[in-house]
Structure 1
Amino acid sequence: MKREISFKVAIIPLAVMIVVMALTVVVLEQGPHIPLIVGTSVAALVAWRSGYKWKEIEEAMYKGIRLALPAVIIIMLVGLTIGAWIGGGVVATMIYYGLKIITPSLFLVSICVICSIVSLAIGSSWSTMGTIGVAGMGIGLSMGIPAPMIAGAIISGAYFGDKMSPLSDTTNLASGLTNTDLFVHIKHMFYTTIPGLLIALVTYAFLGRNFGKGNVDTANIDQIIGVMQDSFVISPWLLAVPLIVIILVAKKVPAVPALVIGILLGFLSQIIVQGGNVADAVATLQSGFVINTGNEMVDNLFNGGGLDSMMYTVSMTIVAMTFGGILENTGMLSAIVSQILKLAKTAKSLVISTIASCFATNAACSEQYISIVIPSRMFAKAYRDKGLHSKNLSRALEDGGTLTSVFIPWNTCGVFIFGTLGVSAFQYAPYAVLNFIVPIISIIFAITGFSIVKLTETEKLALEKEEHTVLKG
Structure 2
Amino acid sequence: MENLNKKSNGKALIPFLIFIIVYMGTGLVLQAQGVDMAFYQLPAPVAALVAVIFAFIMFKGSIDEKFNTFVKGCGDENIIIMCIIFILAGAFSTVSKSMGAVDSTVNFALTLIPAQYITAGLFIISCFISLATGTSVGTIVAVGPIAVGLAEKGGLYLPLVLGAMMGGAMFGDNLSVISDTTIAATRTQGCEMKDKFKCNFLMAFPLAVLTFILLLIFGKPVQAVAAGEYSYSIVKMLPYILVLLTSLKGVNVFIVLTGGILVSGIIGLIYGEFTLLGLGQQIYSGFTGMFEIFLLSMLIGGLSYMVAEEGGIQWILEKVKGMIKGRKSAEIGIAALVGLTDAATANNTVAIIINGPIAKQISNEYKVDPRRSASLLDSFSCIMQGLIPYGAQMLIAVGFTNGLVSPFQVIPLMWYVFFLTVFAVASIFIPFTDGAIKKDPWNFEHDMPQSKLKC
The interval holding the TM-score normalised by the smaller chain is 0.5 to 0.7
Which of these residues, 58, 68, 77, is aligned with residue 83 of structure 2? 68
In the alignment, which residue of structure 1 is the partner of 2:99?
Answer: 84
Once the two structures are superposed, what CA deviation does each residue of 1:295-350 show, in whole Å capped at 9, x if it has no partner? xxxxxxxxxxx865884x43431342244213321214454354323321244322
Which of these residues, 117, 123, 127, is aligned with residue 106 of structure 1? 117
In the alignment, which residue of structure 2 is the partner of 1:355?
Answer: 335
Once the two structures are superposed, what CA deviation does each residue of 1:378-433 show, in whole Å capped at 9, x if it has no partner? 1234434xxxxx55x63343033355247559xxxx8899999999xx89876665
In the alignment, which residue of structure 2 is the partner of 1:158?
Answer: 172
In the alignment, which residue of structure 2 is the partner of 1:446?
Answer: 428
Which of these residues, 134, 139, 144, is aligned with residue 126 of structure 1? 134
Structure 1: 5+ residue stretches without partners? 229-233, 272-276, 288-305, 385-389, 468-473
Secondary structure class of the residue paired with 2:272: helix
Structure 1 counterpart of 2:19, which letter? Answer: M
Once the two structures are superposed, what CA deviation does each residue of 1:118-177 show, in whole Å capped at 9, x if it has no partner? 877xxx6517986x77654454243135685364133244146438x9xx8689769964
Which deviates the most, 260-269 or 29-38? 29-38
Is 1:46 the counterpart of 2:55 in the alignment? yes
Q: Is the 8 A contact 2:26 2:42 kept in 1?
A: no
| Alpha-carbon distance, 1:102 to partner | 1.9
Which of these residues, 381, 386, 396, is aligned with residue 404 of structure 1? 381
Superposition pairs for residues 91-240 of structure 1, below 5 Å?
A: 91-113=102-124, 116=127, 126=134, 136-137=143-144, 139-144=146-151, 148-149=162-163, 151-159=165-173, 161-162=175-176, 177=191, 192-202=203-213, 204-205=215-216, 208-209=219-220, 212=221, 214=223, 216=225, 218=226, 222=228, 225=229, 234=231, 238-240=233-235
Q: Is the 8 A contact 2:19 2:48 kept in 1?
A: yes
Once the two structures are superposed, what CA deviation does each residue of 1:340-365 show, in whole Å capped at 9, x if it has no partner? 23321244322211212344576599
- Alpha-carbon distance between aligned partners in 2 of 1:35 and 1:450, rounded to the nearest angstrom: 36
In the alignment, which residue of structure 2 is the partner of 1:344?
Answer: 324
Superposition pairs for residues 167-316 of structure 1, below 5 Å?
A: 177=191, 192-202=203-213, 204-205=215-216, 208-209=219-220, 212=221, 214=223, 216=225, 218=226, 222=228, 225=229, 234=231, 238-247=233-242, 249-251=244-246, 252=251, 254-270=256-272, 278=275, 286=281, 308=285, 311=288, 313-316=289-292
Structure 1 counterpart of 2:75, which letter? Answer: K
| Alpha-carbon distance, 1:74 to partner | 1.6
Call closer, same or farther: CA 1:169–1:452 in 2, change over 3 Å. Answer: closer
Q: Is the 8 A contact 1:43 1:327 kept in 2?
A: yes
Structure 2 counterpart of 1:140, which letter? Answer: A
Q: Is the 8 A contact 1:99 1:139 kept in 2?
A: no
Structure 2 counterpart of 1:62, which letter? Answer: C
Once the two structures are superposed, what CA deviation does each residue of 1:14-68 show, in whole Å capped at 9, x if it has no partner? 3333333233223313435446423432344224422253422541563376342
Once the two structures are superposed, what CA deviation does each residue of 1:77-125 show, in whole Å capped at 9, x if it has no partner? 312321222xxxx5554454444332455334334445656877xxx65
| Alpha-carbon distance, 1:71 to partner | 0.6
Structure 1 counterpart of 2:168, which letter? Answer: I
Is 1:380 the counterpart of 2:363 in the alignment? yes
Once the two structures are superposed, what CA deviation does each residue of 1:180-215 show, in whole Å capped at 9, x if it has no partner? x977x7776566445533454356446634xx1517
- Alpha-carbon distance between aligned partners in 2 of 1:397 and 1:243, rounded to the nearest angstrom: 29
Structure 2 counterpart of 1:320, which letter? Answer: L
Call closer, same or farther: CA 1:380–1:101 in 2, change over 3 Å. Answer: closer
Q: Is the 8 A contact 1:404 1:435 kept in 2?
A: no
TM-score by length of 1: 0.63
Secondary structure class of the residue paired with 1:345: coil
Q: Is the 8 A contact 1:119 1:157 kept in 2?
A: yes
- Alpha-carbon distance between aligned partners in 2 of 1:254 and 1:239, rounded to the nearest angstrom: 20
- Alpha-carbon distance between aligned partners in 1 of 2:314 and 2:399, rounded to the nearest angstrom: 34
| Alpha-carbon distance, 1:254 to partner | 0.9
- Alpha-carbon distance between aligned partners in 2 of 1:93 and 1:114, rounded to the nearest angstrom: 11
Call closer, same or farther: CA 1:365–1:205 in 2, change over 3 Å. Answer: closer
Call closer, same or farther: CA 1:37–1:421 in 2, change over 3 Å. Answer: same
- Larger RCO: Structure 1 or Structure 2 (Cα < 8 Å, ≥ 6 residues apart)? 2
In the alignment, which residue of structure 1 is the partner of 2:305?
Answer: 329
- Alpha-carbon distance between aligned partners in 2 of 1:421 and 1:270, rounded to the nearest angstrom: 35
- Alpha-carbon distance between aligned partners in 1 of 2:380 and 2:348, rounded to the nearest angstrom: 15
Q: Which has the larger radius of gyration?
A: 1
In the alignment, which residue of structure 1 is the partner of 2:22?
Answer: 20
Structure 2: 5+ residue stretches without partners? 152-157, 401-406, 447-455
In the alignment, which residue of structure 1 is the partner of 2:293?
Answer: 317
Q: Is the 8 A contact 1:108 1:153 kept in 2?
A: no
In the alignment, which residue of structure 2 is the partner of 1:301?
Answer: none
Q: Is the 8 A contact 1:352 1:446 kept in 2?
A: yes
| Alpha-carbon distance, 1:4 to partner | 5.1
Call closer, same or farther: CA 1:421–1:74 in 2, change over 3 Å. Answer: farther
